[in-house]
Structure 1
Amino acid sequence: MDTPAAPPPDLLLADDGYPAPSGVARRPAGTAESVRANRRWWDAAAPAYLAEHGGDLGDVDFLWCPEGLREAEAHLLGEVAGRRVLEVGCGSAPCSRWLRREGADVVALDLSGGMLARAAELNRATGIDVPLLQADVGALPLTSASVDVACSAFGGLPFVADVEAALAEVARVLRPGGRFVASVNHPMRWPLPDSPDPEDLRVVSSYFDRTPYVETDEDGRAVYVEHHRTVGDWVRAVVGAGLVLDDLLEPEWTPGRTQQWGQWSPARGALVPGTLVLVCRKPA
């Protein structure tokens, strides 16, 4: 599996290193537009994102969410030693390297060549070489029933237009009895302001409005797309893909954790959930 080189950013970057949109809209955005936009955004944003969050993510660690839940304590994936594991939306792949260190046979998948280029650098730096695959979760280049476990730790699912098709792909590549665990933005995040300050906790849009959030460039083309689903939508998508939903977790903020991620903060995390974790399995 060849590792793509980091592409040069083709988006205007703000002073903080992240892409600077020319406009923001709430409008429909299908699969092709979402894939194209988010690949460009993450390619351009990878250096800034990892400079900001890489220390918390670690090079060989499995962090499920900004609240600080880690697989070493949560054991949501069960025993991974000797298991074939697929990570969806791996970013710089710290979770996959952690899984490899625990004895798993891992494939780390991401849409962004920029993220995978950094993952390759960290593979070399840590001496933990996990295979890296650039692909879209909606069309996994893996054979059916070829993995024992699949996971996505705040990976690509919130950016996927057709999450039902993506989950069906995950179910396809899982072996009977296989487990799938994914952490996503909690749906309650959608109607609230994008602020870590609890004083800003007020409803500013409808929880039931599924219209995507779209950032655009100077030509009106989408450069970032995020899709919203209610809790019920997630449950129906899991069940519709032929998976069994064993648990829904809403992690509380880890005591003593001071790290802030965008609107995720200790003060806000004490009041409202920021993450939803779907714990699923494919029937044996």
Structure 2
Amino acid sequence: MVERHTRPVPGGRAVYLTERLWELAEGLPVESVPIDSIKAFDEDCWFGGAAVTCRMVARHAALIQKADLSFPVILSADGRLMDGGHRISKAWISGATTIDAVRFVVDPEPDYIEPDPPGVVQNNRQYWEALAPARPGEPIEVLETGRNVLNEHERAAIGDIRGRRVLQLACSVGDEALVFARLGADVTAVDLAPSHLATGRAKAEKLDLTVDFREQDMMSLSEDLTGYDLIFISWGGLCWVPDLDAWTRLVADRLNPGGKLIVSEHHPLWEVLTVADEDRLRITGDYFTPDRQGYADPLKAPQITRTIGTPDIPHQSFVWSIGNLISAVLAAGLTLNSFQEFPVPDMYDGLAGTATRIPATYLLTAIR
């Protein structure tokens, strides 16, 4: 997994990759520092304000056990901890009151800045929470039968995930996450809407499955959500990402080496085309401009809005072209493994037989 240190800065969080910090700190003099002088030891450096579970504590306990005290911790110029929380914890548990440290004279520039969630994310959170109570997902009776809610292409891309750590982004009510858990994975699933997550937790309890459901923005995941073997997003999730480059960098950081990103989504071509009549399409969106204000074609809005209407809440989604997506994946340092496009005639209802000649969905896999 990519280890990193972050700190708040105006407009977001500065991100320092730990490997680079060690390269920059090489040659700095080692000094003995009182543990009580390191403020981070009495702060939440690992959990991002999330409700802490025994599993989360156990993971960090394992890292504390493995910590090597022959390596000094790294401090910023003003004494803030940049690397070494587990080593400090191990030293304190052993009864030590000081720890070896190196300190920057002038702090290095961060590797990049993760922007704060823009106003659009907060608006979208309210929008989805208004829709969520009416979105139960698959009936529990169906899930109890062991029915797989993944399609054949997704199942092939996912492979054997027994014992693997899996993160689902924009999970909605978590039906896919429950499938991952049934397949033997250690699963975390995040979503903006508390009501989605409540539904997912209730389903997990009835199915006797364990999924760590978290209320989080997928643009600013908490620090402990890292070290995953698979990150999965599907079916109307990516269109709620406001900054694709920042998102792919974040995803790449949270994957283990060899870990896989799977994006299974509506095709952006489908997003901008509307069936006018048999064998005729009308362009109702802009393929090359991501920002989408409302829906010129109501069939592209969340399906539940056709039943309960659209909440009177500002919201914004995005149409990311295939070029946007692949470029962002490569720029984040991931290796493109596969890209497939599929026709789904029902998604071009009224187009008759020619609907099989254009894509409606796609599936991308990339490896770190």
TM-score over 0.5 for the pair: yes
Q: CA deviation at 1:124?
A: 1.8
What is the aligned partner in structure 2 of residue 211 from structure 1?
291
Q: Does 1:92 align with 2:186?
A: no
Q: Does 1:227 align with 2:318?
A: yes
What SS does the aligned partner of 2:291 have?
coil
The within-5 A match list for 1:41-56 is: 41-50=127-136, 54=138
Comparing 148-157 with 138-147, greater Cα deviation is found at 138-147
Structure 1, unaligned runs of 5 or more: 4-29, 255-259
What SS does the aligned partner of 1:277 have?
strand
What is the aligned partner in structure 1 of residue 121 from structure 2?
35
8 Å contact kept, 1:159–1:225: yes
Q: Does 1:240 align with 2:344?
A: no
What is the aligned partner in structure 2 of residue 123 from structure 1?
204
What is the aligned partner in structure 2 of residue 16 from structure 1?
none
What is the aligned partner in structure 2 of residue 202 from structure 1?
282
Instruction: Give the partner amino acid of 1:54.
Output: E
Deviations along 1:113-148, one digit per CA (max 9) or x if unpaired, are 121011111112222131111111111114475111
What is the aligned partner in structure 2 of residue 249 from structure 1?
340
Instruction: Give the partner amino acid of 2:362.
Output: L
Match among 157, 161, 182 for residue 80 of structure 1: 161
What is the aligned partner in structure 2 of residue 6 from structure 1?
none
Q: Percent identity?
A: 27
Give the number of the structure whose residues are more often helix, by fraction. Answer: 2
The within-5 A match list for 1:52-201 is: 54=138, 59=143, 63=149, 68-69=151-152, 71=154, 74-143=155-224, 146-154=227-235, 156-193=237-274, 201=281
Distance (Å, rounded) in 1 between the aligned partners of 2:190 and 2:287: 31
TM-score (norm 1): 0.72
The CA RMSD over aligned residues, in Å, is: 3.2
Structure with larger Rg:
2
Closer/same/farther in 2, CA of residues 137 and 62 from structure 1, 3 Å limit: farther
Distance (Å, rounded) in 1 between the aligned partners of 2:226 and 2:135: 34
Closer/same/farther in 2, CA of residues 124 and 155 from structure 1, 3 Å limit: farther
Q: CA deviation at 1:204?
A: 3.3
Instruction: Give the partner amino acid of 1:125.
Output: K
Structure 2, unaligned runs of 5 or more: 1-49, 53-115, 296-309
Instruction: Give the partner amino acid of 2:286.
Output: S
Instruction: Give the partner amino acid of 1:163.
Output: L
What SS does the aligned partner of 2:127 have?
helix
Instruction: Give the partner amino acid of 1:277.
Output: L
8 Å contact kept, 2:128–2:193: yes
What SS does the aligned partner of 2:327 have?
helix
TM-score (norm 2): 0.57
